[in-house]
Structures are given as structure tokens and as C-alpha cells.
Amino acid sequence: MPNYAMILAAGKGTRMQTKLPKCAFPILKKPMIEYIVEHVEASCIDETIAVVGHERKVIMDLLGNRVQYAIQEQQLGTGHAALMTKELLEDKEGTTLILLGDMPLINVDIINKILESHDKMNNDLTVVTANFDDPEGYGRILRDNYGRIRAIREDKNATEAEKKTKEINTGVYAVNNKLLFEMLGKIERDPLKKEYYLTDIVELMADTHSVGTFTIRDPKHVMGVNDLYAVSQAEKILRDDINRELMLNGVSMINPETITIGHNVKIEGNVTINPNTTITGSSIISEGAVIGPNTEIHNGVIHENVHVKHSLIYDSEVHERTSIGPFAHLRNNANIGRDNRVGNFVEIKKSTTGSNTKMSHLAYIGDTECGNNVNFGSGSVTVNYDGVNKHKTYIGNDVFIGCNTNLIAPIRIEDNVFIAAGSTVTKDIPKGAMAIARGRQINKEDYSKNLIKPKPNNK
């Protein structure tokens, strides 16, 4: 029988105090709903529906065609949200796993085990529970004298005796698909909150159908992220889990509590990561690399034996044995070749370099295609913007660019060119030429006395 996932992601998340819909809020620079979708995609789920509402375009832009969508125009509770999937799911045989879009720590193993347990126990409804030391705010699981689940009592409606129950409802359910919509049609609107609660299906089904539970051993996997403090808690859990796994697989981390590695980052063994380093997105770090300290890499590809320190690398690639930093900034698809030196206060944007090219300090390279064995002197700038459009600079092989040189794009510098320091180059330079583009120096003898007046003697 097929399995379906229904992700409830329509709420505003007012406690987050952000303009983003709650489920789009980033955890380690990745929207929390993406964690859930990735694990669902890797599981035994065959089809996924996301229920969206508030700022739904944000969620839909994030997920694209990876899921189908049901729209909840009015936020009238979880039961109402589930009912919005009726047209997509009602006529289908199988099991639907209902998930919350603010539960980023649930993983593929848990998803598969819930569905496996649901099938083995031949349940019509499986309620996923957990035991919390401090269950305040969560719905409590109510059982009869035989240990069978009878109902879920919301915290605000629970008696003092019921509030002592530590077993809570996680908001995750596996349910027979056809029964689900039959029961959703029977839920009555809460007279106080004016909402339809999905939890009511437990009491509706307990006497007439097979209702069981699946208890999560480690509650952290089903924690809901409802405010910014919970964001920090979820990030710490993810960070610790990711760092531990990497270190056990041969990645050396100095002060790992200061290091943040994203969920989709791939790092090979024999890599050293120094303190205060953040690596996120779909970054790849290859063997022998030394990253940090005080470095941030997002969607970066770092090849073997690259050293990066005190620098920023966004959406860029650095090839073998290249040194980056300190205080370098690579962005917008910079592609740095082998054995390069990118030093102090160098910014490279949307440019490529060949091998053995050096830009050791105080340079800007933008919209440039650069060859091998090029030396950028201190203060070199490719002037790529004319105030309206960006223009391209081409630099060949074996080029020496003197200090404080401006290359006014569009421009082409051929191989074996020498450019004198202080030049502002506005024309192409042919192969093998030397270019000097600066005003002639004039010395006026004994002239400084007209400009520099002696300081008064205050004694």
C-alpha cells in the first residue's frame, strides 16, 4: 500500500516575531521545512502534500515542485488544515503520515519506523508520543486502565491530575487514509478557540477502530520550533550531532562548540576546521584542507590542501593548494585556480583565475577572466562598472600588474604583458607589450616653500 505525507505548514508563527512564515525560518541557514521534506523524500513516502496558508508563496518558492500543495485560506486549526488535502487524498488507498512543518529534527529513520510500526500493529491510527520532563504546553496522552490510548487532552483543558502526565502528543500521526477524512468530517469546532483540532480524531476512533501509539525514545527529534529561543536550541542539537559525526569520520575540529556545519555540507577526512568557523549550504570540503579560524563558507567548493583563514567564501570554488586570506572575500561564482595566493583584503567577484596567480593584498577583481602566472600588485582594481552596466576584463598568461593599477573594462590584456605601477589602462594591450598609463612627473625646483608654510614657534 502506498504511503503519503501531509506537512502542515500554514500557520503564521506569531511567536517567532518575524515576517517570514514560521516553517520558512532558517535553521543553520536552511529553512526548517526543507529538513522535513528532505527526510520525507529519502523515506518510504510515495507522495507529499504541504498545507500552506500564511505567506504561502514563500513556502511554495522554497519547495517548488517537490511537493503538492493544499491551500488553507483561513487558519482554523490543525483539523481544518488536514481537511484541505481532501481533494488530493480522499480517494487514495494507503496510509497518510501527518507531520508538522516546524519539526526540523525528525529524521528518515523515525519516519520509516513510524510507518513500519503502524503496519505491523495493523493500526487504523497511530499517535506518535514522547515523554517530556516538562510537558507544559503540550497535549497529554490519556490512557485507560489497560494502557490503551483514549484521548488527547490539550494543556489548557487538562485537569491538574492530567497535567501530571509526562507522555505528550507530538502532533505526528499515521492514519488510514480513507478513515482520516471520514473522521475529519466529524470534528466539532472548539467553542473557545473557534478552531478544529486534529487531536479530536483520537477520541472519535478509540472505541470503534484500532488506535495505537509509537513512542519516540529521544524527544529532541520531535521538538517543535515555535520561537527564536527554540531556534537556538534546535541549532545547537543539529550542530552537536553534525560535528560529532564528522569528528568520528576523521575531521579535526578545534573547539567544536564554536564551529557550525550545515546539514548538507560534505567534508572529507583529514580536514582541519579551526575555531569560529561556519560552513553551510551545499559546501564541499576536500581532504587536506585547513579552514579557519574566523571563516564563513556558504555553497563553497574547497579542493584538496586549500588553506582558508579569516575569510568569506560564498557560492565560489577554490582549487588545489591555494591559500585564501586573511580577510579575503570570494563571492558570486568566483573560481580560483590551483596554487593561487589570495591575500589580505582581496575581493573577487564572478571571476576565474588560472594556476599560480597571486593577488596578495588590497585588490578587487570583478567580472574577470584571468590566466596563469599573473601577479596583481597591491591596490590593483578591475574597474568593471561604468555606473550603468558591468563589463568584462580578460587577462592572459604571465602578466605582471603593477601596484595601484586600474584596468577600465571592457579591456583585454594579452600574454606576457607588463603594466607599470600607477597606470590607469583604458585600451587593450597586445602580447609582449609594456604599458605605462600615467601622467609624466614634473619636478619644480625650490617650489615647496610656496606650499608649505613654517609652523609658528610657540616657545
The catalytic site residues sit at 361
Dump the DSSP string for 412-444. Answer: EE-SS-EE-TT-EE-S-B-TT-EE--SPPP---
Under 8 Å between Cβ of 295 and 325:
yes
| Nearest in space to 55 (alpha carbons), one of 36, 77, 34, 73 | 73
Q: Is 167 exposed, middle or buried (0-12, 13-18, 19+ CB in 10 A)?
A: middle
- Secondary structure tally for the chain: helices H, strands E: 9, 38
| Nearest in space to 20 (alpha carbons), one of 137, 101, 141 | 101
Q: Calculate ∠ Cα 48-28-295, nearest 5°.
A: 145
CA separation for the pair 86, 20 (Å, rounded): 27
Cell numbers given for 144: 485507560
CA separation for the pair 7, 215 (Å, rounded): 20
Segment (H or E) for 4: strand 3-9
Question: Per the omega criterion (within 30 degrees of 0), is the bond before 454 cis?
Answer: no
Question: Per the omega criterion (within 30 degrees of 0), is the bond before 410 cis?
Answer: yes
